[in-house]
Copies of this chain bind each other. A is one copy, B any other.
Amino acid sequence: MNLLENIRVVLVEPIFGGNVGSVCRAMNNNGITDLAIVNPRPEFDWDDARKLSCNAKEQLEARKEYATLADAVAGCTVVAGTSARTGFYRDTAYSPKEFAPIGLESAQDQKIALVFGREDKGLFNEELALCTHIIQIPSSELYTSLNLSHAVYVCCYEMFSAAGIFQPSEETAQEADSAFRERMFAVWREMMIETEFTHDQKLDHMMMGLRRIFTRGKLTVPDCKILMGLAKQTLWVTNQWRNEQEKKNH
């Protein structure tokens, strides 16, 4: 049972088709697929919606339509309305991050709704009245007006993140062990001497610097092989050069 299937995104009287299309992508990116639209306007631009939904067209076509918000959320326990404004009974608000674990807990065995208002006027008081939670999206005081699909994106993103499904890519290569690292550093040391890069006195200091640079993150076996190969090649070139010089001198 996938938690995210229990999350319904409800758009109340959206104005712009493009926004609704972008909303479909935002939902799909975050594994949320249940879209409800309340009272779509007769002049609504479905072509624009389809265009902006890109590969999330299926979801746009699978939308449910309702005459009222009450109908759209009737089967939902938690109903979270988004609001940019504070004030009259909007004082107890949650950030999307704060709301995510609350919503997910209910979504384990019940349907929940994330409700978004009109692009220009948001949700009306009688619509907020149906909500059990108010979500206020963090924004700069200087510019609080969010694009509808951005608002949906960030709420879905926090639900998806809190569900703990996604893990960023991790290094799969084996980390080099000390013995292998030290063989590599030994070649670098030799290279620094042979190329006459450092004085004897400075050699240890330079080596310590290199060790810090190379081991600041995890140094893998392939990384070590590249570094070893580079130093060995440099030693080879250096020896060629020395031989040439000796020939000249004789």
Contacts and interface: CB of A to CB of B under 8 A. Distances in A.
Interface of A: 18, 22, 25-26, 28-31, 54-56, 70, 73-79, 86, 88-95, 97-99, 101-102, 105-106, 110, 125, 129-133, 136, 138-140, 142-147, 149-150, 153-154, 157, 160-161, 164-173, 175-179, 182, 207-209, 211-212, 215-219
How many copies of this kind of chain does the complex include?
A: 2
Nearest to A94: B168
A168 B146 CA distance: 16
A80 to B, nearest CB: 11
Query: Main SS of the interface on chain A?
Result: loop
Nearest to A179: B74
A175 B113 CA distance: 14
Given A25-B150, A150-B22, A170 B140 contact: no
A173 B241 CA distance: 79
Nearest to A135: B168
A67 B9 CA distance: 41
A56 B91 CA distance: 27
B28 A169 contact: no
A55 B143 contact: yes
A34 B91 CA distance: 32
